[in-house]
Amino acid sequence: MRDSLKLILLAVIAIFLITVFLTIDGSGNWDYVLPRRVKKLLAFILTGAAISISTVVFQTMTNNKILTPSLIGLDALYLLIQTVIVFVFGSAALTSMSKNVQFSLAVGLMALFAGMLYRLLFQKNSTPLYLLLLVGVICGTFFSSISSFLQRLLNPNEFAVVQDKMFASFNNMNTDLLLTAIVLVVLILGYFYRDFAYLDVLTLGKEHAINLGVPYQRLTKRLFIAVALLVAISTALVGPVTFLGLLVSNITYRMLRTFRHKTVVTATVLTSISALVGGQLVVERVFTFSTTLSVILNFVGGLYFLYMLLKENKS
């Protein structure tokens, strides 16, 4: 099957799942049901687009299809921020805090951390990209260790508040917050849209890309900023969804035969939206909200990650 037909098929699947999600068990109460479901749907589309695009770009930068932007340590930093707020000010401060303030604080601190990594590692033009990954893994482990230590000192009621922040939540979305996130994501995509043409060449590797005239250092700096901001926005909006990008990107790579990123990114976004909407339908209709969508995605994505590691080890 041609890649164009596969894109059409992915679009049809996504539209079908969206239609089912919006209309199932409406019971005629459309004035109440439809606005709430549309708000969730927008969160699915925004989160899926941000995570899938950032993952594909990050994997192209590193020339490795088993890496995700979560290695930078932003997910661990987000959880540390929530834990510190509860530990210092109490759970009442976090629950009563405006969602706009929480979103701005989380995005601001994660962007500040990414900016510090940028300033620290990209001051010299010869800085290898894998040094950035190593520092990100170390920082993520450090943040997780501090979070675990502080969580052990919390009482059970306050820990329950922090535990809710460990999993992505697409319920109780703030419409104003969602609109702000959409505007930010659109601006970021516009910021590096013209660099998409370089990504096709970057697939060949660093040396070949430089020989073909790609401004490698400038390009990786710009892409790193865009990836970090996309991850920060999606994480601050709904919470950490660690393995979603890894899962949908590798499914797309196996599905398509092209190296052109416009096609790959489009297919990845459609796959991500289908995974989120379909997963939410399973959570609501099969598990009756006894689990969360992020748990299912992380479980499936973790198994797939182990499968890829074992496959790479055999090869």
Q: Look at residue 15 in the predicted model and tell me its pLDDT.
A: 94
Residue ranges of the chain whose pLDDT lies below 50: none
Three-state DSSP class for residue 147: helix
Q: How many domains does the chain have?
A: 1
Domain residue limits at 64: 3-314
Helix, strand, coil distribution of the chain in percent, nearest 5 = 80, 0, 20
Cβ contacts of 31 within 8 Å, gap of 6 or more: none
Q: For residue 277, give Cα distances in angstroms to 44, 130, 272.
A: 7, 34, 9
Q: Look at residue 194 in the predicted model and tell me its pLDDT.
A: 80
Q: Look at residue 129 in the predicted model and tell me its pLDDT.
A: 67
- Return the beta strands (E) in 83-155 as ranges: none
CATH assignment at residue 173? 1.10.3470.10
Gap between the Cα atoms of 52 and 41, Å rounded: 16
Q: For residue 286, give Cα distances in angstroms to 55, 66, 282.
A: 29, 30, 5
Q: Look at residue 98 in the predicted model and tell me its pLDDT.
A: 80
